[in-house]
Chain A
Amino acid sequence: MYTQALNADESQRDQTLPAPDAAKLARFQAVIDAEDKIEPNDWMPDAYRRTLQRQISQHAHSEIIGMQPEGNWLTRAPSLKRKATLLAKIQDEAGHGLYLYSAAETLGLSREAYCDQLLSGKAKYSSIFNYPTLTWADMGAIGWLVDGAAIMNQIPLCRCSYGPYARAMIRICKEESFHQRQGYEIMVTLAHGTPAQKAMAQDALDRFWWPVLMMFGPSDKDSMHSADSTKWKIKRFSNDELRQKFIDATIPQGRYLGLTFPDPDLTFNDATGHWEHGVIDWSEFKRVLAGDGPCNRQRLKARQTAEAEGAWVRDAARAYAAKRSQRQATSQVAAE
């Protein structure tokens, strides 16, 4: 999910590193060109390593922060079935965070180091999770639209050149696609429900539609990502290509629900066979990315609080483990 990291300014990269060995670089690129995988112990250019560290950890952070907007409705889920499925879904997201941190750890930084980057505000996560969830219908909209948009990004990542990331993505994609269908099923239920439920569904679409389109990142003409990610087969489709695929898949789904997309300029182009959308307000995207979205501060604060409140538990587990190995060593000595 959530690969907005690719849109960071590549000029910020450290340019002072020595040029990589040309022969190694050629072998590396040959592996990628042959659609084989780069594995953790293989030689890789520093820039490839840093791009992946950033992208995979941002993806992991997004899963973890993404638990919050849905967690907001967990204790108010309107039926026991919905309560159980929402709890299981949020649990899956924690699981995705775990696989992704594990994949990112193979690149040489610990999970703690990545988490510190999140908690200090240095690392980013997907902008979409800085929007509030105001009604139950948002649980449907997040599954249908946010997970739906994420899948568009993630399916190509199953073929990413970096082996541990690609393998993690295969499992994540299966679960995300289940979540997407669950979310859509919530929307179907609401859209066929009482007038109040239908209004709730429409309101959720109204609020989430544009922020979801922004999840794919800036338009190609404004995107700062270098050709490297494409050459390295980390990114296989451009932001606009993925956004278009998403729109083409989603409009018929929304129409089936009898809902209206909040874009008066939305039109179907018979010649191209694609839906065309109105102008995206990129100033809003920039504001949210810069930290001034509706919930940026609350989301980070909640994570910092959970981390701080759990510190004594983690300390206890470490202290107990140390005591136990001490006792085992002592009893071993006594036995000898």
Chain B
Amino acid sequence: MPRVIADADLFEFTLALADDALVLGHRLSEWSGRGPSLEEDIALSNLGLDLVGQARLFYTYAGELDGNGRDEDDLAYFRNADGYRNLLIVELEPGDFALTIVRQFLYAAFLHPYFAALCRSTDARLAAIAAKAVKEMAYHLRHSSEWLIRLGDGTPESHRRAVEALDLLWGYTGEMFEPTTAEQRVVAAGIAPDRTQIRQPWTTTVDAVLAEATLQRPAQRGMQSGGRHGRHTEGLDRMLAEMQVLARQHPGAKW
């Protein structure tokens, strides 16, 4: 029998999914007008739009669970960096196109099977959001895989940049598989998939694409984490300062 879950746990779990989506969506939006080609500019905007869309659905649900009348914008614009619960990998500054692609690949290779499992959640609302998002993540995975293969197996320079991005980002992949204590209760209640179980399909996907891209999986090493507890990298506060500036200059205003 699924256990009854506290709204606070479900809120924290949903909020983290929303923060992941918004922060990465924002990072992708920073590419607008700067893509390496017109087609890719459009593609990166598409990925960003998918993620901002996912964030809005998760925030709206989180706001309802919270019960304090906070809407999506209250949650997005009026929390400081230490209140954000996103994974560190999504907040790192976008860097070059290689970093953007490698991040999108590592993240989508996780989130696609994760959302596929979340579609079976006993929480109808989360299952419905996942059903929409899983289709989007399938595209993100395909898009980033195809680019990663081109960068890895393209020119010496693109290969070097892909290696560099992979080396930087690898240390942030461990956190994707770490549930918080609240999340463990949500998993036990049958509402969320167990993220530790996603490691296997993730590794299979990553190994296959890296092999085709002529890239080596980086060696095992110590992993960075802390995002789920509000301990972030240096870039998040700056990103939020920019993202939230206008909304905070006019508290209470409607846009």
Could you list which residues of chain A lie within 8 angstroms of chain B, going by C-beta atoms?
64, 67-68, 71, 74-84, 87-88, 90-91, 94-95, 97-98, 101, 136, 186, 189, 193-194, 196-197, 302, 305-306, 309-317, 319-320, 323
Contact = CB atoms under 8 A, between A and B. Distances in A.
Interface in B137-171: 149-151, 153-155, 157-158, 161
B253 A193 contact: yes
Interface in B13-68: 22, 26, 29-30, 32-42, 45-46, 48-49, 52-53, 55-56, 59
A76 B250 contact: no
A196 B236 CA distance: 29
Contacts, number: 137
Interface residues of B, number: 49
B49 A315 contact: no
A76 B36 contact: no
B155 A315 contact: yes
Contacts of A76: 242-243, 245-246
B76 interface: yes
Contacts of A317: 150, 154
Contact of A75 (B26, B49, B150, B157): B26
Contact of A78 (B35, B52, B247): B247
A90 B49 CA distance: 11
A179 to B, nearest CB: 15
A78 B252 CA distance: 11
A82 B255 contact: yes
A189 B254 contact: yes
B212 to A, nearest CB: 11
A94 B42 contact: yes
Nearest to A67: B33
The A contact surface, by secondary structure, is helix
A76 B29 CA distance: 11
A137 B40 CA distance: 29
A90 B247 contact: no
B249 to A, nearest CB: 8
B45 A80 contact: no
A320 B32 contact: no
Given A80-B56, A83-B52, A197-B250, 6 more contacts: A80-B52, A82-B255, A193-B253, A194-B253, A305-B34, A319-B154
The 6 A-B pairs of least Cβ separation, nearest first, read A310-B36, A316-B154, A316-B158, A313-B36, A91-B45, A67-B33
Interface of B: 22, 26, 29-30, 32-42, 45-46, 48-49, 52-53, 55-56, 59, 72-73, 76-77, 96-97, 149-151, 153-155, 157-158, 161, 242-243, 245-247, 250, 252-255
Contacts of B96: 309
A94 B155 CA distance: 27
A312 B157 contact: yes
Contacts of B158: 312-313, 315-316, 319
Contacts of A136: 246, 255
Contact of A306 (B35, B55, B157): B35
A83 B49 CA distance: 9
Contacts of A310: 35-37, 40, 97
29 contacts: A64-B38, A68-B33, A75-B29, A75-B243, A76-B242, A78-B250, A79-B255, A80-B59, A80-B73, A83-B52, A87-B45, A87-B48, A91-B32, A91-B46, A95-B42, A98-B39, A136-B255, A189-B254, A197-B253, A310-B37, A312-B161, A313-B151, A313-B158, A315-B158, A316-B154, A316-B155, A316-B157, A317-B154, A319-B154
B36 A90 contact: no
A87 B250 contact: no
A257 B96 CA distance: 43
A194 B254 CA distance: 8
Contacts of A311: 36
Contacts of B29: 74-75, 83, 87
Contacts of A67: 32-33
Contacts of A79: 73, 77, 247, 255
Nearest to B28: A87
Contacts of A313: 36-37, 40, 97, 151, 158
B72 A80 contact: yes
A79 B253 CA distance: 10
Contacts of B73: 79-80
